[in-house]
Chains A and B, each alone.
Chain A
Amino acid sequence: MTATLRLDPPADPGHNAPPPGTAIPNAPAVRRRKRPGAARRGEARAGLAMALPAVLLLLAFLIVPVLLGFALSFTNARLVSPEPPRFVGLDNFVRAFTLDPVFFRSALNTFAFAAVVVPLQAGFGLFLALLVNQRIRGVTAFRVIFFIPVVTSIVVVSILWKFMYQPDGLVNSLIDSITFGAWQGTAWLNNPSTALSAIIVLSVWQAVGFHMLIWLSGLQTVPEELYEAARMDGAGVWRQFRDVTWPCLRPTRIFVLVTITIAALGLFVQIDVMTQGGPVDSTTTLVHHAVVTGYRQQQTGYGSALSLIFFVLVLAVSLIQRHLTRDKD
């Protein structure tokens, strides 16, 4: 029993005690040899007791709801109903894929949103990270400023931008003064062809600071010597980025892309606060549709089925991430 520093979690203190009879002069082993069973039982009891509250809570409010959601997907359960849920087989899924035009629209909108937001936010975040990674005066203040929208509630952000998107609101007035009146804005949120784009802009504005910081921590792991070597070889700024920065950012890249994708697929608050899915379903999303049917229309069974479809999507993205990160090793 030596006092080595062990940093890995499976290190279990006191269990690599020498077999009985081995003469070891220092105290802990001797002590432990006296009551190995009792000590071990005590430790087992303590471990279980300390983990128990968290385990029970995770079971009750995460695992059970996941399983319940799966089970309810195959029933006609309603939130408040005198009758118990009845098994209806795949009816809810058949309804989603064949009878519910809003579901189709919501899936389309969700994918469109993700397809634009993921590259936009990741690219913009990387651009910001490169800017604030320079060793110039005052750069910390800019990091803080770019991060401020992230700590602002998305509910507040949504209602604020809803105000700014009014036909005679701040956005149109800014567009008017920037283009010297050459280009008139529109009623962004009331126009089916602009509503989703308008929501994309504020979503990126709100969340990009978070990914800037993730990129930044990735950038700071790139060894400075690599840049020096590249400069030695006469590489310019662009070559340094392409041949040094970009390859070194591979793990960060995967993490950023996956977190943005999952968050984008879960788009809900902006829609609920700003448009309620309108105009003419042009902004409805999977999660919004699931909440509207499953909660507001009280069709728990159908809403659970839609949630399950969303879950499968997220799971697929996570599995792709796991696959990509495993490739490297």
Chain B
Amino acid sequence: MAESPGAPPARTGTSEQQLRRRRRAWSYLALTGLAAFFLFPLVFMFISSLKPDGQLLSDIGSWRAFLPVGDISLDNYSAVFGRVPVGRFLLNSLLVTAAVVVLGLVVNSMAGFALSRLRWRGRGLVTGIVVATLIVPFETIAVPLVYWVAHLPIVFFQDGVPVWDIGWLDSYQVQIIPFVANAFSIFLFRQYFSTIPVSIDEAARIDGAGWFTIYRRIAVPLSGPAFATVAVLTFLPAWNQYLWPAMVVQDEKLRPVMVGMQYFFQDNPAWGEVMAYTSMITLPVLVVFLAFQRAFVSSVAASGVKG
């Protein structure tokens, strides 16, 4: 269906041209209709977040549902802040997401480097493990993992004295550490690093560089696209985490945004406030996406190599 401009010469007659013009018109019609289909719920969400509940419900019957008309204000937003500690939830999500992404980039890129460029005993075994764990969906280990982290020891400092306790539930580390190592990220880094010419390593070795220096000074700076792809691929699921924190975090002070929304899951919530809350946690992601769409698109293409 690729419409290559000028493939059949214009000489073939006006009917050919007309046909193509008509096809193009139909394409635009379909594209516009589909754009409306994908956007209307989100437009509705943002618009609704600005309206008081009474008007919001009465507007649903008409086009006014998609227009910022009538009694427009940010009242729903301030009401949300009054009702739930949204600021705290956002901060928690930001902290957990940043930690998962940054630690993940370091840990997984080092592993990818070791697997692609260094020879060591056990490399084959580790590669096998990484490839095998690619197919384990998180849902299959969620239940035993809760049991497992509930029985893990933890050391913390109380007045400068190390104390140890059992159980990771209700903490930041339980939201971060299980998601740092990621088989797919390791796999992507390994693929990417192996495209860097080994002659560069050789030259650095002659200059007396250690392997860690080669990783840090040569491999990392040359692998910007791989880091961007992995950052995007880990950012979204970390920000959107729901099942896991819903199970392991009961303490309100540690909750991320998605679980914080449970306040609104009751049967007849104040929908204006719900829409304000969902708008607030969606906007940052949309901004990041629109700013870095290239990285998002290439990360999807990269996930296609998994097959």
Measured CA separation A64–B144 after assembly (Å): 9
Given that A136-B28, A159-B261, A161-B41 are contacting pairs, would A47 and B118 also be in contact in the complex, using a CB cutoff of 8 Å? yes
Q: Does B162 contact A (CB under 8 A)?
A: no
Binds A, one of B30-38, B78-86, B220-228: B30-38
Contact, CB under 8 Å: B177 / A57: yes
Q: Does B107 contact A (CB under 8 A)?
A: yes
Measured CA separation A81–B275 after assembly (Å): 40
Residues of B253-307 whose CB lies within 8 A of A: 258, 261, 264-265, 271, 274-275, 278, 281-282, 285-286, 289-290, 293, 296-297, 300-301, 303-304, 306-307
Contact, CB under 8 Å: A154 / B108: no
Q: Which residues of A contact B129 (CB under 8 A)?
A: 55, 58, 63
- Tally of A-B Cβ pairs under 8 angstroms: 338
Binary interface profile of A, 210-234, with partner B (CB < 8 Å = 1, else 0)? 1001100111001010011001000
Measured CA separation A255–B306 after assembly (Å): 8
Given that A133-B2, A295-B143 are contacting pairs, would A156 and B281 also be in contact in the complex, using a CB cutoff of 8 Å? yes
Which bracket fits the contact residues of B?
A: 35 or more
Residues of B111-163 whose CB lies within 8 A of A: 111, 113-123, 126, 129-130, 133, 135-137, 139-148, 150
Contact, CB under 8 Å: A217 / B243: no
Q: Which residues of A contact B115 (CB under 8 A)?
A: 9, 51
Q: Does A277 contact B (CB under 8 A)?
A: no
Contact, CB under 8 Å: B119 / A12: yes
Which bracket fits the contact residues of A?
A: 35 or more
Q: Does B240 contact A (CB under 8 A)?
A: yes
Given that A79-B147, A151-B236, A307-B143 are contacting pairs, would A43 and B119 also be in contact in the complex, using a CB cutoff of 8 Å? yes
Contact, CB under 8 Å: A69 / B140: yes
Name which residue of chain B comes closest to A238, CB basis.
B1
Given that A50-B212, A57-B181 are contacting pairs, would A269 and B242 also be in contact in the complex, using a CB cutoff of 8 Å? yes
Name which residue of chain B comes closest to A303, CB basis.
B143
**Of B141, B177, B183, B281, which contacts A65 at CB under 8 A?**
B141
Shortest B250–chain A CB gap in Å is 12
Measured CA separation A293–B130 after assembly (Å): 30
Q: Which residues of A contact B44 (CB under 8 A)?
A: 160, 164, 170
Measured CA separation A325–B304 after assembly (Å): 13
Contact, CB under 8 Å: A156 / B119: no
Given that A48-B120, A72-B147, A148-B286 are contacting pairs, would A14 and B202 also be in contact in the complex, using a CB cutoff of 8 Å? yes
Residues of A33-83 whose CB lies within 8 A of B: 40, 42-51, 53-58, 61-66, 68-69, 72, 77, 79-80
Shortest A135–chain B CB gap in Å is 6
Binary interface profile of B, 188-218, with partner A (CB < 8 Å = 1, else 0)? 0011011101110110011000111001000
Contact, CB under 8 Å: A51 / B110: yes
Measured CA separation A272–B210 after assembly (Å): 51
**Of B8, B57, B107, B135, which contacts A57 at CB under 8 A?**
B107
Q: Which residues of B contact A27 (CB under 8 A)?
A: 206
Binds B, one of A98-106, A112-120, A138-146, A192-200: A138-146
Measured CA separation A108–B272 after assembly (Å): 36
Contact, CB under 8 Å: B111 / A173: no
Contact, CB under 8 Å: A51 / B147: no
Residues of B94-120 whose CB lies within 8 A of A: 107-108, 110-111, 113-120
Contact, CB under 8 Å: A310 / B139: yes
Contact, CB under 8 Å: B194 / A7: yes
Q: Which residues of B contact A136 (CB under 8 A)?
A: 3, 24, 27-28
Q: Does A262 contact B (CB under 8 A)?
A: yes
**Of B2, B197, B286, B297, which contacts A224 at CB under 8 A?**
B2
Contact, CB under 8 Å: A314 / B135: yes
Given that A46-B118, A54-B107 are contacting pairs, would A153 and B240 also be in contact in the complex, using a CB cutoff of 8 Å? yes
Measured CA separation A144–B215 after assembly (Å): 35
Contact, CB under 8 Å: A47 / B197: no
Q: Does B70 contact A (CB under 8 A)?
A: no
Q: Does B180 contact A (CB under 8 A)?
A: yes
Q: Which residues of A contact B18 (CB under 8 A)?
A: none
Q: Which residues of A contact B118 (CB under 8 A)?
A: 12, 43-44, 46-47, 50
Residues of B1-49 whose CB lies within 8 A of A: 1-5, 7-8, 23-24, 27-28, 30-31, 34-35, 37-39, 41-42, 44-45
Q: Does A327 contact B (CB under 8 A)?
A: no
Q: Which residues of B contact A12 (CB under 8 A)?
A: 117-119
**Of B113, B211, B264, which contacts A159 at CB under 8 A?**
B264
Q: Which residues of B contact A260 (CB under 8 A)?
A: none
Shortest A65–chain B CB gap in Å is 4
Q: Does A22 contact B (CB under 8 A)?
A: no
Q: Does A282 contact B (CB under 8 A)?
A: no
Contact, CB under 8 Å: B108 / A134: no
7 pairs of A and B residues whose beta carbons are closest in the complex: A47-B120, A57-B181, A69-B144, A255-B307, A47-B118, A54-B111, A294-B143
Known: A8-B194, A307-B144. 18 other contacts (CB 8 A): A11-B198, A48-B122, A49-B114, A51-B123, A54-B107, A57-B177, A58-B130, A66-B144, A68-B144, A133-B2, A143-B297, A148-B42, A149-B41, A153-B240, A154-B240, A156-B261, A213-B300, A311-B140
